[in-house]
Amino acid sequence: MQGDPRVLAALNEYLSYELTGHRQYLVHAAMCRHWGFERMARIQDGYSAEETQHAARIIARILLLGGAVAPREFGPIAGGEDLAQQLERDHALVAAAVAHLRSAIGDCEQCRDFASRDLLAEMLDDEERHLHWLDTERALLDKLGAENYLQSQLG
């Protein structure tokens, strides 16, 4: 089965976000664990694992469509200096992924690749939930203040 080049390009672009997210969340989890913020470390580990699963599904779809797996490199991953900066970096990455997915879903529909559209729509749902969680955490940080928020991350 040969996929449309636009769909294959959109899948590879999204794969780049997934692989970047996996690495970024993995680094953030390790840093949080080092700082003693076990709650956030567990959450970041979960997001890292989710990104790995998403990447595997995207790779399988690209290969099924006869495409080459060719994600672009976003550059080095740097952990945030503190938890607030980590949340900001994660928010920026997820927001960009959401914007890409919305566009890619439209491309899939135009190319009549409804299976890829459905796969990306499922991933969009996950990304939007992640974005909502990040918005909530950032709001809590602002409302509670850094000291109280960080204390809530210890358990």
**Which one, of 41, 29, 134, 138, lies nearest residue 77 by Cα?**
29
* Distances from the Cα of 86 to the Cα of 4, 28, 39, 67, 76, angstroms: 36, 7, 14, 34, 15
Look up the CATH number of the domain holding residue 79: 1.20.1260.10
Could you report the per-residue pLDDT of 117-152, keeping only the tens digit for each?
999 999 999 999 999 999 999 999 999 999 999 888
**pLDDT > 70? residue 75:** no
**pLDDT > 70? residue 33:** yes
pTM: 0.93
pLDDT at 152: 86
Task: Domain of residue 52: give its range.
Answer: 5-152
Q: Report the number of distinct structural domains present in the chain.
A: 1
**Which one, of 125, 144, 139, 41, lies nearest residue 91 by Cα?**
139
**pLDDT > 70? residue 83:** yes
pLDDT at 118: 98
